[in-house]
Amino acid sequence: MSERALTIAIDGPAASGKGTLARRLAAHFGLPHLDTGLLYRATACALLDEGRPLDDIPAAVAAARGLALADFDEARLRTRELGEAASVVAAIPDVRAALIDLQRGFAARPEGAVLDGRDIGTVICPAAPVKIFVTASAETRAQRRALELAARGEKVDYASILADVRQRDERDSARSAAPLKIASDAVRLDTTDLDIEAAFEAARDIVLDKLTLAARSD
């Protein structure tokens, strides 16, 4: 990574708004963006397409190794079913290990990059100059997810989406391999009471503050 690379690591729980923020920040700062959740979703999708169980470790590792970023069918990968399945394969340490080089390769662009996920600031890019941990209450996240799924034509039941959100929080935080947790040098951004615009402005200001601090210490 060059000295001037602006690597922005965005982590947070399901439906916290980190994906939207990461996309907006990438557009604002002119950086490429990788939604790393898609890697786990695509791995799970490959297993399901082959009719294999999600705990078939050799098949899951082979699927993870075979991923090509350009091939992703995002509309297919962003379903609720694949979000759940992704959370299961993401708990397999060998699957996570198989996806490290792809993510670090993306992050190592000379100009920098924005990556969002669960372990970007802690494992994938521990030296990233900017780390933001995006949170929101489980109820707010479930409401956002319900609206998003309804907009895509999926059937929506708020109570079961809230249960999914809580179950995914539990699975993503309790696993032993790279659990969801805030990096010690990350800034926490709670978006519970913020709309998208206000959340973006807060995230942008976090990045600008870090850049100002870095410039002062040069």
Contacting positions for ligand DC (CB under 6 A): 14, 36-37, 40-41, 83, 86-87, 90, 117-119, 168, 172
- Min dist. Cβ of residue 215 to ligand DC (A): 29
Q: Which is nearer to ligand DC, 84 or 212 (CB)?
A: 84
Token pair recorded at residue 149? 């799924």
Whole-angstrom Cα distance, residue 60 to residue 14? 22
- Min dist. Cβ of residue 118 to ligand DC (A): 4
- Give me the residue label for tokens 């410039």: 215
Whole-angstrom Cα distance, residue 129 to residue 141? 27
Q: Which is nearer to ligand DC, 185 or 211 (CB)?
A: 185
Q: Which is nearer to ligand DC, 112 or 117 (CB)?
A: 117
- Min dist. Cβ of residue 138 to ligand DC (A): 14
Q: Which is nearer to ligand DC, 87 or 140 (CB)?
A: 87
Q: Which is nearer to ligand DC, 3 or 49 (CB)?
A: 49
Token pair recorded at residue 126? 């521990």
Q: Which is nearer to ligand DC, 4 or 152 (CB)?
A: 152
- Given a contact cutoff of 8 angstroms between Cβ atoms, the answer to whether 203 and 25 are in contact is yes
Beta carbons within 8 Å of 81's beta carbon, 6+ residues apart: none
- Min dist. Cβ of residue 83 to ligand DC (A): 5
- Min dist. Cβ of residue 36 to ligand DC (A): 4
Whole-angstrom Cα distance, residue 159 to residue 10? 27
- Given a contact cutoff of 8 angstroms between Cβ atoms, the answer to whether 158 and 139 are in contact is no
Whole-angstrom Cα distance, residue 117 to residue 39? 10
Whole-angstrom Cα distance, residue 3 to residue 143? 41
- Min dist. Cβ of residue 213 to ligand DC (A): 26
